[in-house]
Structure 1
Amino acid sequence: MTAPNPSTHDQAARLVEAVNEALTPATSYRDASLLPAVGPTPPVPQPGRPPMSQRATDASALMLTAGLATAPPGLIAIGLLVASGYADPLVIGMICAAPAVIAVPVLAVARLLRGAQGIGAEHHHHYNGPVSQHTVHTETKTRGLFAKTINKQ
């Protein structure tokens, strides 16, 4: 038997080291390729608040804050009335349920009105004699507090 060649041992050790390096999970990776500026993928809504203008975001935050600010004074008032003995729990329950009692019929009427069919897109006009009909769509650029719009043809 002959002793193995030292270069064969070195090659085997390098092969084992390369396999071990390939099998270890990567801790980081940086893709240096440039991303395309425009692609076929549409934007995806992100979690959290829905996308809206800054003004709408500010208004919704203000409404949430105002709604939360009304809860503590109302709870304190109810607690004082109950503790003093001057309030009837049935009356307090009716006061708390009043917004829901009013909202249910209003929402039902709104749903009925939304489902009502309006005038369709098809219009029939009947004329006697010569008629000249023009449809003009003008773009107005009216600005300012006091403005005068003049549509000329």
Structure 2
Amino acid sequence: MNRLPEPPGRQPHATQAGQPTTNTAAQAFLADLESAFTTTNTAKTTPTAYRDDTLPATYTTGPTAPVPQPGRPPMSQRAVDLNTTILCTGIASLPIGGMTSLVVYTLGQVDPAALAIAAAAPATIALPILALARFLRRARQVVEAAPPVIHQHYTGTVHQDTRTVNSTNRGLWASNRNQLPAGD
């Protein structure tokens, strides 16, 4: 620690009246600050980064065959969507199958002829409904395919011109005038 030499002729003396006096605690604090700034930092420096240059296992090649991974195999998005739909539909069919089993179990004591009539009832109701829906769909297609009916009402003398004008344009700058021939 380098200290400047005291100027000659100055002696320490008591503080003048009205000036604050320094206490020992303040002097100790100032001494600690001075020693903190003057001493070198001897703490160990911890590294802030590390680079591992070894290749990961995915980059290694060799004669070993690939190992199948657990889970669903890789597939296209359409296949995943279709697979999910199939799984959800299969799970949704469980309540329907359970209700059907319950109905069949409770109807086990019923006469087979009555059971056949009850089983055929939905088909006899569904067939006319499906036929009516098909008839209405075809009727709508016929109406949509028909040309629209246009009613034009005129008053006075009407002249309808049905002449056709054919023109051919050739050259770099061509001009269309589409004028009807005079005299017709």
**What is the TM-score with the length of structure 1 in the denominator?**
0.33
Asked which structure has the greater CA Rg, the reply is 2
| Relative contact order, higher structure (CA 8 A, sep 6+) | 2
**What is the TM-score with the length of structure 2 in the denominator?**
0.29
